[in-house]
């Protein structure tokens, strides 16, 4: 019997093995774990099929060590989705499967049951801890503790509190036959008895729920297009409740930064059901626990970030993707999948409805609505009678600006503070100033390893590179001419300083990656902000995603221009989404909100459209622009990237790769090779080749042969390269 398996390696192929010597009976099913010898190592591989014959030379064919599961660890439908994704994103199947499974399962953990722990054996129960207390006090304490929890047992972590070297003590007790490993019940949190009632739904919310409910049991993709504050989460909760009532599981995906303790508590309280959480902050053990809870059906709701799209759900009934426009759904390294796109595909294959929620949907999703692929549901009103904030543009060419804050904004801040409102200022730049500059000779503080300026961080007295992390003390004088150097531009630190001078009576709070490095710090800060301890909040992205500040009545966007003329075709879409997401923080309670957007280009047509007419007219205009210029969603992209310690190697590799591609046919254009917009990063030179195709199918046809050939190029060995299908970042 032959076993064709996927091994966790970057190789773009499968490997065939003979069944283990002791194997009897029928063939194992695809998705089963197989322990195999691989080179000089032992690997846990995943069975893909049991072919009748193999092309492998007989001399190389080896025997698998063991078949590890009686039933597949990956169900057939998930395995098929993953194989499809491996093909579509051109990523090696072994790594795709590895990304979809908790690492612990590749290290021999059991897919079933609860956590492993320790409990007393019969001799252990009979033993008297006091007899060993003198020579082995830790072992004695363990026996006592396990005696109290007999026969359930205790987890290793629970025993850790008893002393320093827990592991050897456990091993000694096990060797004496006093304790044994056992399986513990799952550690899901205590379920709250009764679900807390939610607010009464608005008419629009009720309509949305009814429309989606009518499609339970079949595939349909919905765009829940709800302005910020319209209560999309209430719709998700109601739908999840409906799924639970029907005995189905719900999968809720949120952006990286959106999975906050408040959101988890809200789901727990309102649904009164065990949740499985899946996010990057989990350890191997916790990840395994969540995976088990989802797979056993014990968890009825799975709440997670990107990778939760691969959660096993035996009774899947509904998928929700909140803030579907968020770019964190696209994995940026390794297996570069889009969790949002795979979620839609998963819903289609499992014949269940999927809800994509956003106040600022991606142009791709809107395009799918306009051409009838997705059904649209609107939540046009803010829940709880708050009005939409009014957005105004401040022309930076016609107003004095001190430290990045224009006079009209200063006056407006003053007004709102006097009336007791809270003010939020958004600036997508950390640090004190974007760089240090000599006005005599033009010298600029540059990173030695990147094509980037160093950012001045005054509080830590450092120049830091935000791209490679390098840091050094700032120059006191220009190294080129000896003249004085000055910080140029504004970062959040500098704004914070400026505010302290402009509004000494109003305490300000800065929230960015620099002030919230420790875990829980951001929660504490947000809580302080919500309690109104700070009158002015200054922050980056972190401040804007999903957090509510009911007392904020004025929002200032300090540097809109970065997004207006960015390097890629998505810049204006991003800017619009950022402006509206930040604006959404204003006026959530009864107070109407005001938003001021500072710009040097108040006449920019898309910005005007956004401010005067709103997101959708903006989006329609932006889509027209995309159509005219043949960018996605009116074309389909793949990006071949390469990097190496020399400038030439990536370009040579990409040039050879380009030469392997069939000539410009089938509406396919090859753009490049060209150096990346930031050519040098962390000491490596980067370049890229963009493939643009009129149709997804022709792009896939090209990639299917080409990527394999590219991988075999001798030049490929001299660079680090990767392919990104449907790239979100073009640098």
Partner DNA sequence: AGCACGCCGACT
Partner DNA sequence: GTCGGCGTGCTC
Chain contacts with DNA (rule: CB under 7 A): 9-11, 15-18, 36-41, 54, 56, 60-62, 717, 720
Residue 715 CB, shortest distance to DNA, in Å, is: 11
| CB closer to DNA, 367 vs 684 | 684
| CB closer to DNA, 36 vs 522 | 36
Residue 2 CB, shortest distance to DNA, in Å, is: 9
| CB closer to DNA, 38 vs 374 | 38
Residue 337 CB, shortest distance to DNA, in Å, is: 18
Closest listed residue to residue 97, CA positions, set 88, 110, 109, 106? 106
| CB closer to DNA, 37 vs 482 | 37
Residue 47 CB, shortest distance to DNA, in Å, is: 13
Question: CA torsion, points 149, 152, 155, 156, in degrees to nearest 10?
Answer: 70
Residue 705 CB, shortest distance to DNA, in Å, is: 19
Residue 467 CB, shortest distance to DNA, in Å, is: 21
Give CA separation, 132 vs 137, 144, 201, 276, 449, in Å.
7, 11, 64, 41, 60
Please identify which residue in the block is written with the tokens 């990656």: 513
Note if the bond before 47 is cis, omega within 30 degrees.
no
Residue 674 CB, shortest distance to DNA, in Å, is: 23
Residue 604 CB, shortest distance to DNA, in Å, is: 42
Give the largest CA-CA distance in the chain. 87
Check if the beta carbon of residue 426 is closer than 8 Å to that of residue 543: yes
- Cα–chain center distance at 334: 13
What CA–CA distance (Å, rounded) separates 27 from 691?
42
Residue 340 CB, shortest distance to DNA, in Å, is: 27
Cross-strand bridge partners of residue 249: 316
Give CA separation, 306 vs 283, 293, 302, 572, in Å.
16, 18, 12, 24
Write the CB contacts of 109 (distance below 8 Å, at least 6 apart in sequence). 102, 288
| CB closer to DNA, 46 vs 321 | 46
Closest listed residue to residue 76, CA positions, set 420, 430, 350? 350
| CB closer to DNA, 17 vs 615 | 17
Check if the beta carbon of residue 422 is closer than 8 Å to that of residue 627: no
Name the pairing type of β-strands 275-278 and 455-457: unpaired
Query: Which tokens hold the place of 391?
Result: 């957005």
Give CA separation, 52 vs 25, 27, 67, in Å.
16, 11, 18
Query: Which tokens hold the place of 2?
Result: 């032959």
Element (H, E) at 631: none
| CB closer to DNA, 11 vs 542 | 11
| CB closer to DNA, 41 vs 135 | 41
651: which DSSP letter? H
Calculate Rg over the CA atoms of the chain. Answer: 29
Residue 11 CB, shortest distance to DNA, in Å, is: 5
| CB closer to DNA, 56 vs 272 | 56
From edge to edge, which strands make up the β-sheet containing 720-725? 668-681, 684-693, 636-644, 720-725
| CB closer to DNA, 60 vs 461 | 60
Residue 62 CB, shortest distance to DNA, in Å, is: 4
Residue 35 CB, shortest distance to DNA, in Å, is: 12
3-state SS string over 25-47?
CCCCCCCCEEEEEECCEEEEEEE
* Cα 258–Cα 259–Cα 265 angle in degrees, nearest 5: 125
| CB closer to DNA, 96 vs 409 | 96
Residue 167 class from Cβ within 10 Å (0-12 exposed, 13-18 middle, 19+ buried)? exposed
| CB closer to DNA, 61 vs 76 | 61
């Amino acid at each position: 019997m032959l076993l064709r398996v996927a091994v966790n390696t970057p190789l773009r192929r499968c490997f065939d093995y003979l069944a283990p010597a002791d194997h009897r009976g029928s063939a194992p099913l695809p998705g089963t774990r197989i322990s195999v010898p691989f080179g000089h190592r032992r690997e846990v591989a995943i069975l893909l099929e049991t072919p009748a014959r193999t092309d492998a030379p007989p001399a190389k064919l080896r025997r698998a060590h063991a078949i590890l599961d009686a039933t597949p660890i990956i169900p057939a439908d998930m395995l098929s989705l993953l194989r499809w994704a491996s093909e579509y994103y051109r990523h090696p199947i072994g790594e795709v499967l590895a990304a979809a499974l908790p690492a612990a399962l590749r290290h021999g953990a059991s897919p079933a049951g609860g956590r492993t722990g320790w409990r007393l054996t019969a001799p252990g129960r009979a033993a008297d801890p006091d007899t060993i207390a003198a020579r082995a006090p830790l072992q004695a304490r363990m026996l006592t503790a396990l005696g109290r929890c007999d026969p359930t047992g205790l987890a290793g972590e629970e025993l850790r509190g008893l002393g320093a070297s827990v592991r050897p003590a456990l091993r000694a007790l096990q060797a004496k036959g006093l304790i044994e490993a056992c399986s513990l019940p799952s550690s899901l949190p205590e379920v709250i008895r009764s679900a807390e009632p939610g607010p009464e739904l608005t008419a629009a919310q009720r309509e949305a729920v009814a429309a989606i409910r009518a499609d339970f049991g079949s595939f349909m993709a919905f765009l829940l297009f709800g302005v910020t504050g319209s209560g999309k989460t209430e719709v998700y909760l109601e739908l999840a409740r409906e799924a639970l009532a029907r005995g189905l599981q719900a999968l809720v995906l949120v952006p990286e930064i959106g999975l906050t303790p408040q959101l988890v508590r809200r789901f727990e309280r309102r649904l009164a059901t065990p949740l499985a959480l899946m996010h990057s902050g989990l350890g191997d053990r916790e990840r395994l626990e969540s995976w088990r809870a989802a797979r056993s059906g014990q968890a009825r709701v799975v709440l997670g970030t990107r990778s939760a799209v691969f959660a096993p759900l035996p009774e899947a009934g509904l998928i929700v993707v909140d803030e579907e426009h968020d770019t964190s759904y696209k994995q940026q390294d390794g297996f570069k999948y889009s969790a949002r796109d795979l979620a839609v595909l998963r819903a289609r294959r499992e014949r269940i409805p999927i809800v994509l929620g956003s106040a600022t949907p991606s142009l791709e999703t809107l395009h799918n609505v306009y051409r009838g692929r997705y059904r649209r549901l609107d939540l046009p009103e803010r829940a709880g009678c708050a009005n939409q904030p009014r957005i105004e543009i401040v022309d930076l060419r016609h107003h004095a600006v001190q430290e990045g804050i224009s006079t009209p904004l200063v006056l407006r801040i003053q007004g709102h503070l006097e009336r007791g409102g809270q003010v939020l200022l958004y600036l997508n730049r950390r640090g004190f100033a974007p760089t240090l500059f000599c006005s005599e000779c033009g010298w600029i503080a540059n990173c030695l390893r990147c094509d980037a300026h160093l950012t001045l961080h005054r509080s830590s007295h450092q120049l830091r590179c935000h791209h490679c992390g390098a840091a050094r003390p700032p120059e006191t004088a220009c190294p080129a001419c000896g003249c004085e150097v000055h910080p140029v531009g504004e970062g959040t630190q500098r704004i914070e300083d400026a505010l302290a001078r402009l509004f000494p009576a109003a305490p300000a709070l800065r929230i960015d990656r620099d002030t919230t490095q420790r875990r829980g710090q951001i929660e504490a800060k947000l809580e302080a902000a919500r309690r109104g301890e700070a009158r002015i909040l200054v922050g980056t992205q972190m401040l804007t995603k999903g957090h509510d500040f009911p007392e904020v009545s004025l929002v200032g966007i300090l540097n809109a221009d970065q997004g207006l003329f960015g390097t890629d075709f998505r810049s204006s879409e991003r800017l619009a989404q950022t402006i509206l997401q930040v604006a959404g923080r204003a006026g959530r309670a009864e107070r109407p909100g005001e938003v001021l957007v500072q710009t040097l280009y108040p006449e920019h047509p898309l910005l005007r459209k956004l401010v005067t007419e709103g997101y959708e007219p903006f989006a329609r205009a932006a889509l027209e622009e995309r159509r005219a210029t043949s960018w996605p969603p009116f074309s389909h992209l793949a990006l071949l990237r390469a990097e190496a310690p020399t400038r030439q190697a990536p370009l040579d590799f990409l040039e050879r790769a380009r030469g392997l591609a069939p000539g410009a046919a089938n509406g396919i254009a090859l753009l490049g090779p060209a150096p990346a917009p930031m050519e040098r990063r962390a000491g490596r030179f980067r370049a890229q080749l963009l493939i643009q195709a009129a149709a997804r199918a022709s792009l896939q046809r090209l990639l299917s042969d080409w990527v394999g050939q590219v991988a075999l190029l001798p030049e490929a060995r001299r660079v680090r390269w990767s392919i990104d299908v449907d790239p979100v970042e073009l640098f």
